[in-house]
């Protein structure tokens, strides 16, 4: 009998009515002849409410206690879904992450899954139970409850699918799948039927908020294919899997936009060995996450170093960099947050020349100035002024023929 893992996000279990719909879908899947494991997020808004409470009672909440607090959100939604299944005439049982056998390391609030002991779930499935597991959580070797970080329920689902050797893993969410671009931005953005793990990672890193990156990395590492699909429609979604030769026929899979970027440039940096370490060491020590880093060719004996960070971190970064600037003898610092990042992603571009040229040309024709460029094997990202980003995304999406109206692959 096939085994299927279905994960439901916070909006999918956000109200009693929706919880009953989730219960119904799990039950239908079982009645179609599957063994079924459900993985639940907390009801929409609950995690934020709990975090707010924590911050209201403590400036620096203990991470152990934070995990105990936050884990209650998924425990509650799982119990509610199990109740609803029972009420619909099914047999269900809810398990906390710990009870489901999810063992993690000791890093509270951002634990990594160390191991899964699927025995209990397997026994319950053998007894025809629908097993409803609280996502986002596990326990460490001391039996302490841990959580897996924001969006960790995706990771729970994929890890369980891997450990149970599931035949399918479906991530139900409030969107229909992964799109060639954010459909709120590009009206004729097209749902992608199939995407490689790497492409999905680059899309997510580029701002597409479909899945937690760690979950995708885990899926890639353990070759767990999964489908991202809507819990509100019956339509099929986007399947993420290891890449196939077939996938490379499409050069550009999608375009993603990240508006939350800020750009920082340190100008007049002495062009000598070890400088980059002197700059980025203290930035990393302050836990600021740097996205793109670009160093221009030096002009004379100085160079400019630019990088992007989250816009919320701009003041913090400016503060740290001011002392670095004095130390290394750079001339000045420019920092501004009215910028956005546009990325084009596709494993096909590895074997196709000319993607970058077409990308830059289309922006140039649109009169859009490129402030930074950074490339990887399967992604090209540029930073432009925030006011230009919508037009830039539209032009790029059109240029690579990604729209609903022209589903064929771009030919370069």
Which residues of this chain interact with a copy of itself, rule CB under 8 A?
16, 19-20, 23, 50, 53-54, 56-62, 64-66, 68-69, 71-73, 75-76, 78-84, 86-87, 93-94, 96, 99, 143
| Cβ at position 358, least distance to a copy of itself in Å | 52
**Cβ-based nearer residue to a copy of itself, 91 or 110:** 91
170: number of CA atoms within 13 Å, CB side?
Answer: 22
| Cβ at position 83, least distance to a copy of itself in Å | 4
| Cβ at position 19, least distance to a copy of itself in Å | 5
| Cβ at position 302, least distance to a copy of itself in Å | 47
Q: From edge to edge, which strands make up the β-sheet containing 379-385? A: 254-258, 339-345, 379-385, 372-376
Return d(Cα 359, Cα 361) in angstroms, integer: 5
Cα 155 to chain centroid distance, Å, stands at 10
Q: Which position has the token pair 């599957």?
A: 34
Surface-to-core class of residue 282, CB atoms within 10 Å of its CB (0-12 exposed, 13-18 middle, 19+ buried): middle
Phi first, then psi, for residue 404 (nearest 5°) are -55, -35
**Cβ-based nearer residue to a copy of itself, 90 or 151:** 90
**Cβ-based nearer residue to a copy of itself, 134 or 393:** 134
Phi first, then psi, for residue 254 (nearest 5°) are -170, 175
Return d(Cα 76, Cα 47) in angstroms, integer: 11
**Cβ-based nearer residue to a copy of itself, 72 or 401:** 72
Instruction: Provide DSSP, 160-209.
Output: HHHHTT-SEEEEEESSSS-BSS-TTTSTT--B-SEEEHHHHHHHHHTT--
Task: Please give the radius of gyration of the chain, using alpha carbons only, rounded to the nearest integer.
Answer: 23
**Cβ-based nearer residue to a copy of itself, 24 or 403:** 24
| Cβ at position 123, least distance to a copy of itself in Å | 13
**Cβ-based nearer residue to a copy of itself, 231 or 306:** 231
| Cβ at position 132, least distance to a copy of itself in Å | 9
Cβ atoms 374, 294 nearer than 8 A: yes
Q: Which of 52, 108, 98 is nearest to 75 (CA)?
A: 98
| Cβ at position 70, least distance to a copy of itself in Å | 9
| Cβ at position 151, least distance to a copy of itself in Å | 21
Strand partners of residue 145: 139
**Cβ-based nearer residue to a copy of itself, 139 or 343:** 139
* Helix, coil or strand: residue 341: strand
**Cβ-based nearer residue to a copy of itself, 61 or 366:** 61
């Amino acid at each position: 009998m096939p085994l299927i893992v279905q994960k439901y996000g916070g909006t999918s279990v956000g109200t009693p009515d929706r919880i009953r719909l989730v219960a119904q879908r799990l039950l239908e899947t079982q009645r179609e002849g599957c063994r079924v494991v459900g993985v639940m997020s907390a009801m929409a808004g609950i995690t934020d409410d709990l975090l707010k409470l924590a911050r209201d009672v403590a400036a620096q909440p203990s991470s152990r206690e934070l995990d105990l607090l936050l884990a209650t959100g998924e425990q509650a939604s799982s119990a509610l879904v199990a109740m609803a299944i029972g009420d619909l005439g099914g047999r269900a049982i809810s398990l906390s992450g710990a009870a489901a056998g999810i063992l993690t390391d000791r890093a509270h609030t951002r634990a990594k899954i160390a191991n899964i002991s699927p025995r209990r779930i397997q026994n319950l499935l053998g007894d025809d139970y629908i097993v409803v597991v609280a996502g986002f959580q596990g326990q460490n070797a001391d039996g302490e409850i841990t959580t897996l970080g924001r969006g960790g329920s995706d990771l729970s689902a994929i890890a369980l699918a891997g450990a149970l050797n599931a035949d399918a893993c479906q991530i139900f969410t409030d969107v229909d799948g992964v799109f060639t671009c954010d459909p709120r931005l590009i009206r004729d953005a097209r749902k992608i039927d199939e995407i490689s793990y790497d492409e999905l990672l680059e899309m997510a890193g580029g701002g597409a908020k479909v899945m937690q990156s760690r979950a995708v990395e885990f899926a890639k590492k353990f070759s767990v294919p999964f489908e991202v699909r809507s819990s509100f429609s019956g339509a099929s979604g986007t399947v993420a899997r290891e890449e196939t030769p077939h996938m490379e026929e499409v050069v550009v899979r999608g375009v993603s936009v990240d508006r939350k970027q800020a750009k920082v440039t340190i100008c007049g940096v002495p062009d000598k060995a070890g400088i980059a370490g002197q700059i980025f060491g203290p930035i990393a020590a302050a836990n600021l996450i740097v996205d793109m880093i670009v160093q221009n060719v030096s002009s004379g004996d100085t160079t400019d170093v630019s990088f992007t960070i989250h816009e919320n971190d701009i003041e913090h970064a400016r503060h740290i960099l001011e002392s670095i600037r004095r130390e290394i003898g750079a001339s000045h610092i420019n920092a501004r947050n009215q910028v956005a990042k546009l990325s084009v992603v596709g494993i096909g571009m590895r074997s196709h020349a000319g993607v970058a040229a077409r990308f830059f040309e289309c922006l140039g024709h649109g009169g859009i100035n490129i402030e930074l460029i950074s490339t990887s094997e399967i992604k090209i990202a540029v930073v432009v002024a925030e006011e230009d980003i919508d037009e830039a995304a539209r032009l790029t999406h059109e240029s690579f023929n990604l729209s609903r109206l022209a589903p064929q692959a771009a030919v370069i």
